[in-house]
Amino acid sequence: MTAFWTEPDFDDHEHVQLVRDRASGLTAIIALHSTHLGPGAGGTRYWHYPEPKDAIRDALRLSRGMSYKNAMAGLPMGGGKAVILADKSGEKTQALLEAFGDTVNALGGRYVTAEDVGISEADMVTVSTRTRYVSGLPVSGENAAGGDPGPFTAMGIYHGIKAAVQHKLGKSSMDGVHIAVQGTGSVGSGLARLLARDGAKLTLADIHADRAAGLARELGGEAVSTDTIMGVQCDVFSPNALGAILDDEGIARLQAPIVAGGANNQLARQGHGAKVAERGILYAPDYVINAGGIISVAMEYLAKRQGEPSDINEVRKRIAKIPERLQEIWQQSEETGVSSDAVADGMAQKLIGR
C-alpha cells in the first residue's frame, strides 16, 4: 500500500488525521494544509467514496485549495478541510455529527469547519453543540452575514463570470450571453437565477435531472443530460458540481471560450490548466472565483470571536473584489504566457510562505 504522504496531492500538509468513532459509526479525515495565515478554515464534505483512496485525495486537494482560496481572498485564515465517509445509504445521524464536533473541538481551534457538499446548515448547528470552532450558522438581523454560504459563493461566481465575459468577449452586458451551468444545487441554482435576471441564455444539467428541469422551466432555460453539458456550444461553461472534470477528455469536449464556475479542483491534474490555455479558453481559477462562501464564513467566525455581528455589507464589499483578482491573474497570464491556474498558484504560494 502506498503511503499517502508520498502521493502528488500531499503538499507538505501540516496535519492529516483519520478519525474513527465506533459508537456513532463516524469515519472522517481532517486535513490541515497550512496555518501560516491563521487557523485552517474549510468546510466538511459528507460523501460516499467507493474507493477509500479517493477520500484521502479529496481531503488533501480540498485543504490545499482552501489555503490558496483564503490567501487570495485576503483572509487571516489558513486552509483545512474535512471529509466524512458516508456509507451507501447516506444515513447521517445526530450521534455521528456530534462525534465529529468532538473531533474538531479536540484540535483546539487549529481547524474551523462549515458546510460543504452533503452537509447542511442544520448539520452545522448540531456540530456546534460540541465545538465553538464552527461557522456557517443561522443568523438573525437584516445586515447580519452568516448561515448557508451557498448564496455568497454564487454571488462571487456571478461577478467573476461577468468579468470573464468582459475580458474575453468584450461584452459589458450579460443579455443573450449563453451559459451552460453544470450542477443546480445551492450554488448552481443561485448562480443561474442571478444570470437569468440579467437576461443570460441558460442551459442546465444536474445528476438530479428533475431538479435541473424544474429550474429550467422557472428561468426559461433548457435542461440537458449530464453527459452532454460539457459539449454544449456556448459562451461560458460553468462547472458547479464535483471537481476533476477538466481532464484530457473533458477539455477536448469543451465548446466554450470561457470556463468559470464554483466547483473545487476543476483541473484533474497539474498540466491540465496549460491544455485549457492551449485551446484559447479563458479559465477562472476555481479557488479565486468561488471564494464568496468562505468570505462569508470567515467574516462570521471572526466577528463572533470578537463578540460582534458580521456585517453583510463588508462581506459584499470583499466579494466584489473577486473580479479584480481575476483580472490581475489573466493579465499576468497573457503577459508571461503562463496558464492562469499556474499564475494564481504562484501568487497564493507566496502569500502562505511556500
The partner residues of 34 in beta bridges, in order of sequence, read 79
**H or E stretch including 27?**
strand 26-34
Nearest residue to 325 (alpha-carbon basis) of 351, 354, 299, 353: 351
26's grid cell: 463516524
Instruction: Give the active site residue among 69, 81, 168, 201.
Output: 81
Q: Is 167:330 a contact under the CB 8 Å cutoff?
A: yes
Residues 6+ apart with CB under 8 A from 54: none
How many Cβ atoms sit within 10 Å of the Cβ of residue 36? 15
- The C-alpha atoms of residue 112 and residue 234 are separated, in whole angstroms, by 39
What is the chain's Cα-based Rg?
19
DSSP letters for 8-42: TT--S-SEEEEEEETTTTEEEEEEEEE-SSSSEE-
- The C-alpha atoms of residue 190 and residue 137 are separated, in whole angstroms, by 19
- The C-alpha atoms of residue 13 and residue 5 are separated, in whole angstroms, by 9
275 catalytically annotated: no
- The C-alpha atoms of residue 78 and residue 313 are separated, in whole angstroms, by 23
The partner residues of 35 in beta bridges, in order of sequence, read none
Q: Is 159:153 a contact under the CB 8 Å cutoff?
A: no
Q: Is 9:60 a contact under the CB 8 Å cutoff?
A: yes
Secondary structure (3-state) at 8: coil
Q: Is 160:326 a contact under the CB 8 Å cutoff?
A: yes
Secondary structure (3-state) at 30: strand
Residues that are catalytic: 81
